[in-house]
Homo-oligomer: A and B are copies of this chain.
Amino acid sequence: MKAITVLLVDDHLVVRSGLKALLGTQPDIDVVAEAASGEEALAQVEQHSPAVVVMDLAMGAGMDGIEAIRKIRERNRRQAVLVFTTYDSDADIVRAVDAGAMGYLLKDAAPEEIFAAIRGAVQGKSVMSAPVASRLFQQLRNPDEVLTPREAELLSLLIEGLSNRELGQRLFISEATVKTHLAHIYAKLGVETRAAAIATAIRREGMR
């Protein structure tokens, strides 16, 4: 039986070596390469063609994790990509799955869960941590609460602290339209004020 070849992608050295040590305890899993950035990850995939890529989404600089997943999947369908990250962001989950991720694990997952995800990934099985699964399920069950692209765009500027007028200028739309979009966003986020919208958006969009 051949071991499962794995590429680790994470911009933190300690996380990489920790994961490597952890995976090293499993005889059927073999870490063949590491990368600290999206660009590096692509190069390593080319060179080693690993069966599974375990990737952190938050990469300090350059290409982000989502982008890297997409590129890997574009060029070569043989790799299964597992997301391994600290936070369970709604947007990231959807985008990662959309980009072709086979699984989504949180860094506080139990070792057994991680091993199982890697073994499952090569067989085409999708594994995700419980909190992640529940969030994804929530989104699929409630499509009404998913923002449209334009709304998402507005929200991303909203959390920069812009006023309605500034939002309008930035997006080349009238203030009236801005208010319409905002009303929809508030309804979907379940809030009443822009302050609350910013607060929940920033938390949902990435950092708990």
Chain A residues proximal to chain B, CB less than 8 Å: 11-22, 60, 86, 107-108, 111, 158-163, 191, 193-200, 202, 206-207
Contacts and interface: CB of A to CB of B under 8 A. Distances in A.
B196 A12 contact: no
Nearest to A202: B202
Contacts of A11: 108
Contact of A18 (B17, B163, B197): B17
> For A11, A12, A22, which residue has the most chain B Cβ atoms within 10 angstroms?
A12
Contact of A108 (B60, B162, B194): B60
A61 B20 CA distance: 26
A56 to B, nearest CB: 11
B107 A12 contact: yes
Contacts of A60: 108
A17 B12 contact: no
Contacts of A158: 195
A84 to B, nearest CB: 9
9 contacts: A13-B18, A14-B15, A17-B21, A18-B18, A18-B19, A161-B193, A161-B196, A161-B199, A195-B198
